[in-house]
Amino acid sequence: MRTHLVYLAAAMLAASPAPGLAQRSDTLRLSIEDAVTRMLRSSDEARAAWQSVEIADAQVMSARAAGLPQLRLTSSYQQVLKNARAEMVSQIFGQKYTYNTTLNAQQAIFQGGRIFSAAQAAASARGAVRLDLAETRARLTLDIQRAYLNASYLARIAELQAQNLALATSRVTQTEQLEKAGRAARFDVLRARVERANIEPLSLQAASDRDIALLEVRRLLGIPVDEPLLLTTALDPKTVSALAERARADAEPDALRASVRSAELTAKARRAGIRVARADMLPQVNMAFNTGYLALPTLNGFPTVMGKVTEDACPPGSTPGRLCQNNGWFADRNFSVTFTWNFWDGLRAKGNLDLAQAQARIADITLNQVREQAALEVSRARNELARATAAFGARQQNSAEAEEAFQLAELRYQRGLSTQLEVSDAQYALLTARSTEAKATFDLYLATAELARVRGRDIPLPNGATVPVRTDSRNATSGSAPLR
């Protein structure tokens, strides 16, 4: 037993990182909470989803603006160099300098329901985009956890393979010593060497798989390849079992999935689009009011007084009683109501209406498909959780029994009561049991997290915290998800 403990300690020392690397101050220590937060803030998909929300907000603002009063201020200055009408008809048309300032106010009174329907469609589309953001965040949360824990799992497999290789190396040394003492045959030495040679490529492959998994984590989080990275979160079987137990015991009705609610709002927006297209066939009534000032100075110079028509403004020598303008600003106002009805547009409005109706029908079909898919995913996730739970319980017991069997085989071999073949079989069984135990814990946690995602619940983290998943369109844009 003591010899076995020495071998195991040597194996763990061989599998541990180099002291220089472990002590580097620039090593990035990344927990799974930090990985999730970084993924939600800096990943391309998350930033693209946020940009889609901003686009939807801008579209809502544009749609609502069509129903609000429009105010436009216009100012102009015009200097006539030569006027044909002034030369042919009268000098009254030859005014050289013209200043004009106008404030125009317009208000749509009736647009066939276009403005209201367009605003409704834009608001529904915005709600759908926000819910898509919530669904994207939930998926990204699960993706980064899967990549992170996969890297941790493969690191565990690499550690087990390194321990296995170290034990095989120690067994070669021990068998060679027994051969010299006359207690082992040449065949036993050769078998030990062949066994170690067979284990070595498996250890190298496990280390390569671990490094590739770490590269995937770096890619998802945008971490430079040359920056040292240390994953600090490991799955605790007890915590994972407790999370799975709570998920199985949760009998509350499933929350409405963000994807389903998004499809509902999209269908609602398409139906509002039908009313927008139909509005092209109805009359339109608009109201406009213009107020401004016009100045026609006879001399070049900016007008500075209000306009008047008096005798004092006439040049010296003018006929008595003649009235002239004083080169100032004269008020200019008008009010208009416009009625427009497009009787014939070449069937353009009819084509737009048919298109909107077809898009609404497609949106309704898509909604049914999304609902069916959501129900299917919930059933699949529940079945996967049941399978992972059963496998987890079996692997826990199997690992403990394999550990005990290996210790007994090692002890029997040291005392000459068993063969090296029995020890090799026990060692392989122990490696398999530990690997399957780690895989069962990994599968059980991911099954728990996936069930929470498809049910619209907060996604759990290995330490017992959760990442909130909001399905309310009014709250779907509330910053980065806090970890609570």
Q: Is residue 29's pLDDT more than 80?
A: yes
Q: Is residue 90's pLDDT more than 60?
A: no
Q: Is residue 4's pLDDT more than 70?
A: no
Domain range annotation of the chain? 2-16+27-67+124-152+215-278+350-467, 84-110+284-340
| Most distant CA pair in the chain, distance | 148
Q: pLDDT band at residue 27, thresholds of 50, 70 and 90? A: confident
Least confident of 39-53, 82-96, 157-171, 364-378: 82-96
pLDDT digits (tens, 9 = 90+) for 415-464: 777 776 677 777 777 777 888 888 888 999 999 999 999 988 888 888 87
User: pLDDT higher for 298 or 197?
Assistant: 197
pLDDT of residue 477: 35
**What phi and psi values does residue 108 have, to the nearest 5 degrees?**
-75, 125
pLDDT of residue 446: 92
Assess contact for 307 and 332: CB atoms under 8 A. no
pLDDT of residue 421: 66
Q: Is residue 21's pLDDT more than 60?
A: no
Which residue's entry shows tokens 């990204």? 140
Q: Is residue 211's pLDDT more than 70?
A: yes
User: pLDDT higher for 90 or 230?
Assistant: 230
pLDDT of residue 16: 41
Rounded CA separation 99/78 (Å): 7
Q: How far is CA 145 from CA 150, 162, 451, in A?
A: 8, 25, 14
- Return the closest-CA partner of residue 421 out of 403, 409, 437: 409
pTM score, whole prediction: 0.73
Portion of the chain with pLDDT greater than 70, in percent: 89
Assess contact for 129 and 53: CB atoms under 8 A. yes
pLDDT of residue 323: 85
pLDDT of residue 10: 37
pLDDT of residue 478: 36
Q: pLDDT band at residue 23, thresholds of 50, 70 and 90? A: very low
* Burial status of residue 38 (CB atoms within 10 A of its CB: 0-12, 13-18, 19 or more): middle
- One CATH from 3.40.50.720, 3.90.76.10, 1.20.1600.10, 3.20.20.70 for 2-16+27-67+124-152+215-278+350-467: 1.20.1600.10
Tokens of 454: 């498809």
Q: Is residue 6's pLDDT more than 70?
A: no
Rounded CA separation 391/294 (Å): 88
Rounded CA separation 99/89 (Å): 23
Portion of the chain with pLDDT greater than 90, in percent: 33
Rounded CA separation 86/63 (Å): 48
**Long-range CB pairs of 60-65, under 8 A, 24+ apart, other chains included:** 60/119, 60/122, 60/123, 60/125, 60/126, 62/122, 63/115, 63/118, 63/119, 63/121, 63/122, 63/123, 64/119, 64/122
Q: Is residue 103's pLDDT more than 90?
A: yes
Q: Is residue 472's pLDDT more than 50?
A: no
Name, in order, each residue with C-beta under 8 angstroms of 217's C-beta and a sequence gap of 6 or more: 30, 35, 144, 147, 148, 151, 223, 229, 231
Which residue's entry shows tokens 């010899």? 3
pLDDT digits (tens, 9 = 90+) for 115-151: 889 999 999 999 999 999 989 999 999 999 999 999 9
pLDDT of residue 470: 61
Q: What angle do CA 313, 318, 319 make, to 5 degrees?
A: 115
Q: pLDDT band at residue 475, thresholds of 50, 70 and 90? A: very low
* Burial status of residue 195 (CB atoms within 10 A of its CB: 0-12, 13-18, 19 or more): buried
- Return the closest-CA partner of residue 172 out of 202, 198, 195, 199: 195
Rounded CA separation 448/340 (Å): 61
Mean pLDDT of 396-402: 75
pLDDT of residue 372: 94
Q: pLDDT band at residue 13, thresholds of 50, 70 and 90? A: very low
Q: Average pLDDT of the chain?
A: 83
pLDDT of residue 468: 81
